[in-house]
């Protein structure tokens, strides 16, 4: 059980609820206290106690915080602070995002027996591409490219606010110049069904490795399932490397030729034939959305999210899956 006593005694935070947990960390909603009854809602990400004394995990957690500290962009979850309690627990103070993640949105549509509208699906992915374009182009204070590669693009790491903002999170296994622990060529970083062919074959990656899984996520949002996923992890990787890529317009009739071309380019296994930058993919997605019509906006997405997730207001919403609230 994560020991939270040091968070509330050493620091000026009150834990409100557990939002999510993963292999290495747990994320809580907390209230940051200040003078004059000041209170600000934040997300508090803690390294798990069982990993907090392991140098490799400490290095990755610190590396993630250092990496994202200066990634200040509307489509990336912002990190405000990295700290350590007197008990030796590392924590990050992050922007809180009140809304579902993309996997929950897909699951909600399954429950309702509906498909996510094509324009909403493309808009969501275009906002992720926008955040990636910023991250991939980021430089350090000396102007050196940081060469950031997220390496964990997937529905759980794409968050929504109920105002319609789309935010990429969890740079925990990202790599970047001089900042992150990295053993490419020896280990596979990422989830098997969302790998690029480079990751699946133990090759050294560059920013283009984030665009293949972004293409996978686009098809999953459109179809409601990941075509590469298998119950067997090795089989998922084999599918990434060799499964014939279908013509997606045969799987959903309202995928037109223009969108088909974008998907097929994103899913090119040869990275030299794939989109070369996230900005290039973003441009094609936005031309698709806006060249001949008034396309979706954050506000339109926000209205859709509230309707589909049966949102009322923050005080009345049910806990998200996996979230527990303190009475």
Check which CATH number belongs to the domain holding 22 and give it.
3.30.200.20
Is the domain of 90 the same as that of 112? no
The set of catalytic residues is 152
Residues 57 and 137 in one domain: no
* 207-232 tens-digit pLDDT: 999 999 999 999 999 999 999 999 99
In whole angstroms, give the CA distance from residue 22 to residue 7: 19
In DSSP terms, 81 is beta-bridged to 93
Q: Is residue 106 domain-shared with residue 138, that is, in the same domain?
A: yes
Domain interval for residue 277: 102-306
Nearest C-alpha neighbor of 173 from the set 158, 191, 155? 191
> Of 96, 119, 143, which marks where a domain is finished?
96
Say how far apart CA 72 and CA 46 lie, in whole Å.
21
The C-alpha atoms of residue 139 and residue 73 are separated, in whole angstroms, by: 14
Average model confidence (pLDDT) across the chain: 88
Residues 172 and 267 in one domain: yes
From CA 170, how far away is CA 21, in angstroms rounded?
12
Cα(81)–Cα(104) distance, integer angstroms: 28
Residue range 175-191: mean pLDDT, rounded: 67
User: Is the separation of the CB atoms in 96 and 89 below 8 Å?
Assistant: no
Confidence at residue 154, expressed as pLDDT on a 0 to 100 scale: 97
**pLDDT attached to residue 20:** 83
Q: Checking DSSP bridges between strand 90-94 and strand 79-84, what pairing results, if any?
A: antiparallel
- Contact between 17 and 319 (Cβ < 8 Å): yes
Encode pLDDT of 109-163 as tens digits.
999 999 999 999 999 999 999 999 999 999 988 899 999 999 999 999 999 999 9
Residue 11 is predicted with a pLDDT of: 61
Does 316 score more than 70 pLDDT? no
pLDDT at 185 over 50: yes
**Residue 186, pLDDT score:** 63
- Domain with residue 147: its CATH number is 1.10.510.10
Strands, sheet with 25-34, edge to edge from the N-terminal-most edge strand: 79-84, 90-94, 38-47, 25-34, 13-21, 324-325
Residue that finishes a domain, picked among 41, 71, 96: 96
CA-CA distances (angstroms) from residue 327 to 15, 32, 206?
11, 18, 46
Place of tokens 């008034």: 294
Residue 323: inside a domain, yes or no?
no
Range from 12-21, 96-105, 169-178, 318-327 carrying the lowest mean pLDDT: 318-327
Task: Cite the beta strand spans of 164-267 per DSSP E.
Answer: 166-168
pTM for this predicted structure: 0.89
Confidence of residue 8 (pLDDT cuts 50, 70, 90): low
Of 138, 130, 228, the C-alpha closest to 174 is: 138
Asked whether the beta carbons of 248 and 219 are under 8 A apart, the reply is yes
Mean pLDDT of 163-191: 76
Q: Examine residue 192 and state whether it is found in any structural domain, yes or no.
A: yes
């Amino acid at each position: 059980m994560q020991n939270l006593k040091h968070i509330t005694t050493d620091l000026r935070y009150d834990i409100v609820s557990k939002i999510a947990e993963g292999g290495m960390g747990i994320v809580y909603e907390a209230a940051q206290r200040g003078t004059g009854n000041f209170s600000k809602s934040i997300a508090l990400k803690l390294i798990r106690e069982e990993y907090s004394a392991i140098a490799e995990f400490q290095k990755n957690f610190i590396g993630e915080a250092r990496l994202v500290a200066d990634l200040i962009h509307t489509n990336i979850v912002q990190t405000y602070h990295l700290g350590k309690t007197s008990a030796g627990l590392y924590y990050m103070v992050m922007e809180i995002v009140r809304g579902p993640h993309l996997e929950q949105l897909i699951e909600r549509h399954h429950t309702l027996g509906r498909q996510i509208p094509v324009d909403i699906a493309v808009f969501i992915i275009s906002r992720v591409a926008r955040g990636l374009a910023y991250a991939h182009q980021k430089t350090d204070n000396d102007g050196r490219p940081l060469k950031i590669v997220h390496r964990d693009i997937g529905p759980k790491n794409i968050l929504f606010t109920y105002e319609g903002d789309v935010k990429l999170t969890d740079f925990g296994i990202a790599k970047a110049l001089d900042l992150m622990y990295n053993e490419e060529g020896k280990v596979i970083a990422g989830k098997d069904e969302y790998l690029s062919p480079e990751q699946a074959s133990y090759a050294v990656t560059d920013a283009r490795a984030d665009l293949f899984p972004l293409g996978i996520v686009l098809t999953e949002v459109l179809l409601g399932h990941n075509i590469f996923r298998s119950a067997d992890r090795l089989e998922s990787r084999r599918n990434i490397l060799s499964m014939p890529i279908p013509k997606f317009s045969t799987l959903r009739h309202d995928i037109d030729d223009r969108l088909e071309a974008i998907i097929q380019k994103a899913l090119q296994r040869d990275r030299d034939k794939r989109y070369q930058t996230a900005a290039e993919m973003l441009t094609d997605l936005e031309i698709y959305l806006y060249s001949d019509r008034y396309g979706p906006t954050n506000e339109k997405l926000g209205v859709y999210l509230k309707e589909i997730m049966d949102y009322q207001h923050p005080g009345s919403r049910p806990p998200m899956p996996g979230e527990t609230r303190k009475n």
